[in-house]
Amino acid sequence: MYKYAELYFNPLAFDATIQEGGDLMPKGFKVSAIETGARYKKRLDLGLIKADKFCGGAAVFTRNICRAAPILWSVDKVDTGSAILVNAGQANAQTGDKGLYHCESLAETLAPLLGLKTHEVLLASTGVIGVPLNIEAITSALDALVKKLGDKGFCDFASAIMTTDTKRKAYTAIGTLPNGTAYQVNACAKGSGMIAPNMGTMLAFILTDLKITSEALTALLEEVTLETFNRITVDGDTSTNDSVFIMSSGAVDTNIIDDPNSKEALSFKGVLYELMMRLALDIVADAEGGTKVVRILVQGATTAQEADSIARTIANSNLVKTAFYGEDPNWGRILAAMGRSGAFFHPIQVSLDLDAVPWVRNGLDNGKDEEAKKVLKKDYYTLKVTLTNGYGERSIWTSDLSLDYVKINSSYKS
């Protein structure tokens, strides 16, 4: 049972077992990871994934105007790229022409080692913004990285992409489609700060041996991203490097899936939702300095968009988040955040529930602070906001704001 399973609801039926970790790649993929010392010492910091035969690919990227060089490199290659090189340490963002040149140079060096064309190499980076890649360290490691490629090693790859993460975030799903096809999906992600994904989040990589086209993958990835990665926030800061890549090898011998609304695609989508939601919640759980995972569920807003505004404003309020951290039943801060969200509601028609505790009724204290404190002591719970305006509903998942968040972030670069 997944730890945070009660914090979300997957509306899609699917047949799959999902396990944490799992080292074996889906059929048709190889993986490797290595230490380059480009920034971190004695730590895996460069990873590579390679499809033996490419079937389909898609990706979503940050909507931040300041997109990193590897995103500018990869954005037009996701439906042809069959290898992904990822470094941790330097984000290669705001590095200008040099950053783009580094991308080209890496792809040109790596492609022949893999028997690929330059435009078949995708790139992703994470780390400090504004600092050029340690191109020598990375380039000189490529040979060994390629030599290490194998069927196993997914967990090492998931470790190699970490920066301030304290835990690896990786899952393997073994599934069966309605038509009887057995398949595998591996998914991993990194991220714990600068998290308020808008389109993609941090870095995530999803690999399957299903025969599914780029078009179908694009449709599924975009829809599920909106419901999962785009609904979490740690600090409201959208990164320059957010990217989610999905790739299929087509190594499973069956009909190709090209209609995102087919029974097979929907079953696969259910697995995708499950994997992406788990990775998203794992990121919230591993939030820099975070001690809580809180679902903010808003129901009864005028529109889903207004529900989203209210939920996000609560989820990003420093005063609410410090109260979560302090396990302080200070519901007035929640109302104050709602009131500046830009969404309309009647302050006297607000109910708040903390899990099953009826905390606030008709906008007023309901005398339940002691029960509320018990919920606030848990390491995950749901804050439900009920309004009486309409049918707008939205969930956002957030962390608390702790002393450690400030400690970690007051000296990340220097």
Residues labelled as active-site residues: 201
CB of 154 to a copy of itself, least distance (A): 29
Does residue 401 bind a copy of itself (CB under 8 A)?
yes
* CA proximity to 225, closest of 276, 264, 275: 276
Residues in the chain, total: 414
The Cα-based distances of 106 to 1, 121, 126, 136, 148 in angstroms read 41, 9, 16, 10, 18
Does residue 226 bind a copy of itself (CB under 8 A)?
no
Residue 213 carries which side chain, given as an amino acid letter? T
Does residue 63 bind a copy of itself (CB under 8 A)?
yes
Does residue 235 bind a copy of itself (CB under 8 A)?
yes
Of residues 94 and 118, the one with the C-beta less far from a copy of itself = 94
**Span from 61-69, 148-156, 170-178, 211-219 in contact with a copy of itself (CB under 8 A):** 61-69
CB of 229 to a copy of itself, least distance (A): 15
Q: What are phi and psi of 379, to 5 degrees?
A: -90, 0
- Sheet of 232-233, strand order: 232-233, 392-398, 293-301, 380-386, 351-354, 357-361, 364-365
CB of 48 to a copy of itself, least distance (A): 25
Of residues 55 and 320, the one with the C-beta less far from a copy of itself = 320
CA dihedral (336, 338, 343, 344) positive or negative: negative
Give the largest Cα separation in the chain, rounded: 69
For 334-364, letters b (16+ CB in 10 Å) and e give bbebbeebebebeeeebbbbbbebebbbeee
Does residue 65 bind a copy of itself (CB under 8 A)?
yes
Does residue 21 bind a copy of itself (CB under 8 A)?
no
* Helix (H) or strand (E) run with residue 221 in it: helix 214-227
- 263 within 8 A of 178, measured Cβ to Cβ: yes
Does residue 319 bind a copy of itself (CB under 8 A)?
yes
Tally of CB atoms within 10 A around 114: 18
Cα 317 to Cα 323: distance, rounded to the nearest angstrom: 10
Q: What are phi and psi of 41, to 5 degrees?
A: -105, 145
Size of the site for a copy of itself (CB under 8 A): 67
Positions 335 through 364 that interact with a copy of itself (CB under 8 A) = 335-340, 344-345, 347-348, 360, 362-364
Of residues 207 and 296, the one with the C-beta less far from a copy of itself = 296
CB of 384 to a copy of itself, least distance (A): 17
Of residues 151 and 237, the one with the C-beta less far from a copy of itself = 237
Question: Which of 82, 208, 240, 395 forms a contact with a copy of itself (CB under 8 A)?
Answer: 240
Does residue 391 bind a copy of itself (CB under 8 A)?
no
Report the SS3 class of residue 365.
strand
- 377 within 8 A of 334, measured Cβ to Cβ: no
Half-sphere exposure of 334 (CA within 13 A, CB side): 25
* CA proximity to 262, closest of 220, 295, 225, 221: 220
CB of 68 to a copy of itself, least distance (A): 10
Token representation of residue 160: 């190699």
Does residue 39 bind a copy of itself (CB under 8 A)?
no
3 state SS for 151-207: CECHHHHHHHCCCCCCCCEEEEEEEECCCCCEEEEEEEEECCCCCCCCCCCCEEEEE
Positions 76 through 105 that interact with a copy of itself (CB under 8 A) = 91, 93-96
CB of 289 to a copy of itself, least distance (A): 9
Of residues 391 and 412, the one with the C-beta less far from a copy of itself = 412
Of residues 121 and 195, the one with the C-beta less far from a copy of itself = 195
Does residue 378 bind a copy of itself (CB under 8 A)?
no
**Span from 31-39, 243-251, 318-326, 391-399 in contact with a copy of itself (CB under 8 A):** 318-326
Does residue 325 bind a copy of itself (CB under 8 A)?
yes
Positions 144 through 203 that interact with a copy of itself (CB under 8 A) = 193-194, 196, 198
CB of 12 to a copy of itself, least distance (A): 30
Does residue 129 bind a copy of itself (CB under 8 A)?
yes
Residues in contact with a copy of itself by CB under 8 A are 63-67, 91, 93-96, 128-131, 193-194, 196, 198, 235-240, 316-319, 322-323, 325-326, 328-333, 335-340, 344-345, 347-348, 360, 362-365, 369, 373, 401-403, 405-407, 409-414
